[in-house]
Amino acid sequence: MTGRVEHIVIVGGGSAGWMAAAGLSRYMRNMPVRITVVESDEIGTIGVGEASVPLLAVFNSLVGLHERDFIQATQGTFKLGIEFAGWNRPGESYLHPFSPYGQSLGVCDFHQYWLKARAAGYAAPLEDFNLNAALARDSRFNLRSSDGQSPMSILSYAYHFDAGLYARNLRTLAQSYGVNRVEGRIVEVEQQPETGFITGVKLASGQRVEGDFFVDCSGFRALLIEGALEAGFNDWTGLLPCDSAVAVPSARTEPLLPFTRATAREAGWQWRIPLQHRTGNGYVYSSRHISDDAAAATLMANLDGRPLGDPRIIRFRTGRRSKAWVKNCVAVGLSAGFLEPLESTSIHLIQKGVMKLLTFMPSASWSHALADEFNRQTAFDYEEVRDFLVLHYKANGREGQPFWDALRNNPVSDTLQARIDLFRDSGRVFIDDRELFKLPSWVTVLTKQGIFPRDYDPMAEAVSTAEITGRLEQIRMILNRTAQAQPTHADFIARNCKTF
């Protein structure tokens, strides 16, 4: 490839395909670049993927999708975090909240002062100093306040939504920015014989769609990046052995919870995602530890609303494409890799892929250096999320259950082991700016799943225990009072963005 990119062909019309189309067309609409999406109604999309992390709001706003319109169009609800039930011990649960803990009391991170108070006998748990946890306790919600003095100004939240409706909405948006849609099943990928660069795709109808840059959003099929370009796959099944899921929607129940629930089960975990019109449910499991029938039976026995269909089995392979960018093709979405939805990160990785693609768009001359750097950054993005997911399994306290015992004793990556050791020794976690999961996320999962530091940061000695506990009590009271003043999640939606 030597000239400027003139025609970008996106293969696939799931969340990845239409997020890529909306993102690229929004930013390239004044450029002499055509964008075409090829999707197959016959093949369809994966049909799961309903929970996000807070940064989706940034993507939606970048592509021109307003929050209220998004919630209305996708039967969406608000998500303050993820409740992990039974991961440390059966009967115990904790919230991984999206907002930070407490408020700085000095030079140390907040949790260091809490650790110091705790060492002196102060009993209040860490979640007592978190706004999202205070709201979640009573299923309350409101938007973030723009008044910097209000405790509600620190709120951070994500969404639950119907992914099919989201893709449809993005499609309308992308088409309004000039994206062309071609419907049909691709039966052949055409490549230049000498270079291997992709030149076009051929459909079952005989139609050919030619292009000079391709975005592979074909899902697990990875039609271009693997089928044609043989990028290779780094398999992480040894670290995250779940390889299947069984999913079923159920009727909405009250209260409308403003969080996702992830309940540990015998050979994996069950998700519960509350939407306005229904609840999404699924059991992610290791097929080496439980049969499909037993997993489906467990799921159906643990729904809190009437099932709205039959359970559906989905297979997956955990890992990432060795190279997400090969020649003139970039993989985004499931074609680039997959990590189980424990922390709702796949759609975020699509968002990151699209934003990176905009940053790395090749210009006049083809650059291997550009592709190499893209691949390095993509590897980092997947590995960072992988380590955080593995932590949930490594630090489990479910002794006596083969799946959980095996994962507790399983070696983890050097990067994760170093982070666990550092926290145990000193209570510190050092986060790279590029990481999605920040300090509060790591401190939550580490401490809630039983990894406690031997000591707290000595710099916390600058504040007396009495002063710390006084401030902690004050923070606790303010957060509780603030939470109680907010409407319930269901009322908030009914008043502001009702669709059901």
Q: Which residue has the tokens 């939407």?
A: 275
Rounded CA separation 277/299 (Å) = 20
Please say which residue, 39 or 212, places its beta carbon nearer to ligand FAD. 39
Residue among 335 and 396 whose Cβ is closer to ligand FAD: 335
333 binds ligand FAD (CB under 6 A): yes
Angle between helices 465-484 and 110-119 (to 10 degrees): 120
Q: Which helix (H) or strand (E) holds 180?
A: strand 180-183
Answer for which of 341, 427, 440, 453 binds ligand FAD (CB under 6 A) is 341
Residue 151 sits in the site that holds ligand FAD (CB under 6 A): no
Contact 249, 305 (CB under 8 A): no
Residue 17 makes contact with ligand FAD by CB under 6 A: yes
For residue 143, the minimal CB distance to ligand FAD (Å) is: 22
220 contact partners, CB below 8 Å, separation of at least 6: 46, 316, 317, 334, 335, 338
Q: Which residues lie below 8 Å from residue 6, measured CB to CB, with a gap of 6+? A: 32, 33, 34, 212
Task: Give the CA count within 13 Å in the CB-facing half-sphere of 247.
Answer: 16
16 vs 117, beta carbon nearer ligand FAD: 16
Among 151, 164, 219, 440, binds ligand FAD (CB under 6 A): 219
End-to-end CA gap in the chain: 50
- The Cα–Cα gap between 84 and 451 comes to 16
Q: Cβ(389)–Cβ(340) under 8 Å? A: yes
* Cβ-based nearer residue to ligand FAD, 45 or 447: 45
Query: Which of the ranges 46-54, 287-295, 404-412, 430-438 carries the binding residues for ligand FAD, by CB under 6 A?
Result: 46-54
The Cα 159–Cα 185 span in angstroms is: 32
Shortest distance, CB of residue 221 to ligand FAD, whole angstroms? Answer: 5
Is 85 annotated as ligand-binding?
A: no
State yes or no: residue 13 binds ligand FAD (CB under 6 A). Answer: yes
**Min CB(348)–ligand FAD separation in Å:** 6
Q: Which residues contact 352 (CB under 8 A, 6 or more apart)?
A: 381
Cα-flanking dihedrals φ and ψ of residue 95, to 5°? -100, 130
Choice from 282, 311, 319, 362 touching ligand FAD (CB under 6 A): 282
Token pair recorded at residue 459: 């710099």
Strand order in the sheet with 319-321: 233-235, 319-321, 337-338
Shortest reach from residue 2's CB to ligand FAD, in Å = 28
DSSP-based three-state secondary structure for 94: strand
Among 316, 393, 423, 437, binds ligand FAD (CB under 6 A): 316
Helix locations, 33-121, DSSP H: 56-63, 67-73, 110-119
Say if CB 442 and CB 429 are below 8 A apart: yes
**Token code pair at residue 317:** 């392979």
Q: Which of 8, 28, 33, 38 binds ligand FAD (CB under 6 A)?
A: 38
268 near ligand FAD (CB under 6 A): no
Q: Which of 7, 168, 221, 312 binds ligand FAD (CB under 6 A)?
A: 221
Catalytic residues: 79
Residue 450 marked as a ligand binder = no
Please give the Cα distance from 366 to 368 (Å, whole number): 7
Where does this chain touch ligand FAD (CB under 6 A) — which range of 2-10, 106-114, 338-346, 491-499? 338-346
Pick out residues in 170-209 that bind ligand FAD (CB under 6 A): 185-186
Q: CB 335 → ligand FAD: shortest distance, Å?
A: 6
Nearer to ligand FAD, 40 or 139 (CB): 40
The interface mask with ligand FAD, positions 72-101, x = CB under 6 A, is ------------------------------
Residues that bind ligand FAD (CB under 6 A): 12-17, 38-40, 43-46, 48-52, 163, 185-186, 217-219, 221, 223, 245, 282, 314, 316, 333-334, 341, 344, 346-347, 350
Q: Which residues are annotated as a binding site for 7-chloro-L-tryptophan?
A: 79
